[in-house]
Amino acid sequence: MTRTPLMAGNWKSNLNHQEAVVLVQKLAWILADKKHDFGRVEVAVVPPYTDIRSVQTLVDGDRLQIKYGAQDVSEHDGGAYTGEISAAMLAKLGCSYVVVGHSERRQHHGETDELVATKAAKALAAGMTPLVCVGEGLEVRQAGEHVPHCMSQVEGSLAGLSAEQVAGLVIAYEPVWAIGTGEVATPADAQEVCQAIRGQVREAYGEAAADAVRILYGGSVKAANVAGIMAEVDVDGCLVGGASLEAEEFGGICRYY
Ligand code: PEP
C-alpha cells in the first residue's frame, strides 16, 4: 500500500487569528507558486483553538488544499467542563486532525496513556483523525530504553481501538530531547522507532493496519534536514513545530522531494 505523506505544522501556543490567516495565505501561495503536487503530500496546519474558525473560513473560501486540526480535545462530550473543547465542536469547525498525547501535554498537564486513548476515541467518534504522539525523554534514550518506552506508550495510547480505527490513525514519534532543541534525531534514529511502531501495530492489529497506519517523525525538522528523514521507509511524514511558523520554511518542508 502507498501511504500519502503528511506534513503537519503544530503551531503550539503561537499566532493570533489574524497572524494565522496571514501565515496560511502565505503558505498557500508558496505551495501553489512552487507548483506543489497536492496529491503527493498532504499538508495540514494545527493552530491554537482560537484560530481555527479563521483558518476554516480561509481554507473553505479559497478552496485551499490545506487541512487543519486541533492540538488537543476534551475527554468529555460536552457539558459542565469549563474551558474544555469537545470533539463535536472541532468536527463542526471542519477539523480533519486532532493531536493527542503531545509530549508537552503529557509533561505539563500530566496526561497519561489512558487519557490519550480516551481522547483518540473521542476524536474518531466525531469523524476526525487522531494524531497520536509518543516519544522518549533524554534519560530514557541514554539508558537505551527508547524502543520499549515508545512501544508501551503506543500500546496504552491505542488501547480499546479496533484494527480498522488503528489503520486510519496517524502516530507521531517525537523524541522529547529533539523537540524545540535543534537536536534532530538522525534518519536512522527515526527509522528505528518508526519501524518498531509499525511492527507493534502489525503484531497487535494485523498486516492491513500496519500497512495503512501513517507514522510521522517530529523533532526539530527543517527544510534542510527533512529529505534524509523522509527517505526512511517507515517514516510517512513529519510533525513540525517551530519551523511551521515560517511559511517559506514549512513550504520547503512540504516540498522535500
Ligand atoms: C513539536 O512540538 O511537535 C515539534 C516537533 O516541535 P519542533 O519541530 O519545534 O521541534
Please identify, by atom number, the ligand 1 atom nearest to the C-alpha of residue 181.
Answer: 10
Residue 35: Cβ within 10 Å count: 8
Least confident of 23-37, 41-55, 108-122, 165-179: 23-37
ipTM score assigned to the predicted complex: 0.97
| Span 153-189, pLDDT tens digits | 999 999 999 999 999 999 999 999 999 888 889 999 9
| Span 121-150, pLDDT tens digits | 999 999 999 999 999 999 999 999 999 999
Q: How far apart are CA 137 and CA 119, in angstroms?
A: 22
At residue 36 the predicted structure's pLDDT band, cuts being 50, 70 and 90, is low
pLDDT of residue 184: 83
Adjacent-strand bridge partners of 129: 97
Taking the centre of ligand 1 as the mean of its atom positions, its distance from the CA of residue 171, in whole angstroms, is 14
Pick the residue whose CA is nearest to atom 2 on ligand 1: 241
As a whole number, mean pLDDT of residues 230-242 equals 98
At residue 196 the predicted structure's pLDDT band, cuts being 50, 70 and 90, is very high
Q: Which of 176, 221, 238, 250 has the most ligand 1 atoms within 8 A of CB, as the residue to mutate?
A: 221
At residue 34 the predicted structure's pLDDT band, cuts being 50, 70 and 90, is low
Residue 11's identity, in one-letter code, is W
pLDDT of residue 64: 92
Q: Cβ(174) to ligand 1 under 6 A?
A: yes
Taking the centre of ligand 1 as the mean of its atom positions, its distance from the CA of residue 180, in whole angstroms, is 5
Q: Cβ(221) to ligand 1 under 6 A?
A: yes
pLDDT of residue 38: 55
Q: Cβ(101) to ligand 1 under 6 A?
A: no
Pick the residue whose CA is nearest to atom 8 on ligand 1: 241
Residue 162: Cβ within 10 Å count: 12
Residue 242 assigned to a binding site:
yes
Pick the residue whose CA is nearest to atom 1 on ligand 1: 241
| Span 67-112, pLDDT tens digits | 999 999 999 999 999 999 999 999 999 999 999 999 999 999 999 9
pLDDT of residue 81: 98
Q: Cβ(220) to ligand 1 under 6 A?
A: yes
Residue 54: Cβ within 10 Å count: 17
Domains of the chain, start order: 6-254 (3.20.20.70)
pLDDT of residue 180: 87
Task: Check if 149 is active-site.
Answer: no
- Confidence (pTM): 0.96
pLDDT of residue 39: 61
Task: Check if 174 is active-site.
Answer: yes
Q: How far apart are CA 172 and CA 185, in angstroms?
A: 14
Residue 13's identity, in one-letter code, is S
At residue 232 the predicted structure's pLDDT band, cuts being 50, 70 and 90, is very high
Helix/strand/coil (H/E/C) assignment for every residue in the chain:
CCCCCEEEEECCCCCCHHHHHHHHHHHHHHHHHCCCCCCCCEEEEECCHHHHHHHHHHHHHCCCCCEEEECCCCCCCCCCCCCCCCHHHHHHCCCCEEEECCHHHHHHCCCCHHHHHHHHHHHHHCCCEEEEEECCCHHHHHCCCHHHHHHHHHHHHCCCCCHHHHHCCEEEECCHHHCCCCCCCCHHHHHHHHHHHHHHHHHHHCHHHHHHCEEEEECCCCCCCHHHHHCCCCCCEEEECHHHHCHHHHHHHHCCC
Residue 168's identity, in one-letter code, is G
Q: Which of 176, 177, 179 has the most ligand 1 atoms within 8 A of CB, as the residue to mutate?
A: 179
pLDDT of residue 35: 59
At residue 37 the predicted structure's pLDDT band, cuts being 50, 70 and 90, is low
Contacts of 93 (CB under 8 A, 6+ apart): 52, 53, 56
